[in-house]
Amino acid sequence: MRLEMTLVLVWSVCVVGASALLHELGHAWAARVVGWRVVGFRWHWYGVACVADTCGRPERLWKVALGGLWATALLALAFGTGAMLPEPASALFGFGFALNAVLLFTNLVPVRALDGGQIVAGLKAERAQRGTR
């Protein structure tokens, strides 16, 4: 029983860490696609964050924010598919699904520190830039 609990704990830590890292890699990929230069990753109290140079194009922020959300949505889909496997795999993958679903919907909240707030700020910047043309 003790070994099983240890393995579940290790699985949980790996799922949380990998989910956070893949979310940020989604931001990094989107940043590269829109022409930003990815500088690196920085650790914060809440986890890791992608750091990028906007290269004078801050109006593309909303697209970069969506990159992380897409990565989290794909992870939730993958874990949800794995949750259909027989026990004990369904419980382990179910945890990954639940974690990524909660992260996805939490990140949609339009608070500046979350992706939802970044999307709103990016759309405002894009709208402001269109108004100056």
**Exposed (0-12), middle (13-18) or buried (19+): which is 43, by Cβ within 10 Å?**
exposed
What pLDDT, on a 0 to 100 scale, did the predictor assign at position 76? 97
Return the amino acid letter for 72. T
Q: For 49-57, what is the mean pLDDT?
A: 86
Between CA 89 and CA 74 the distance in angstroms is 19
What confidence tens digit (pLDDT) does each residue in 76-119 have? 999 999 999 999 899 999 999 999 999 999 999 999 889 999 99
Q: For 50-65, what is the mean pLDDT?
A: 88
Query: In which band, very low, low, confident or very high, does the pLDDT at 129 lie, cut at 50, 70 and 90?
Result: confident
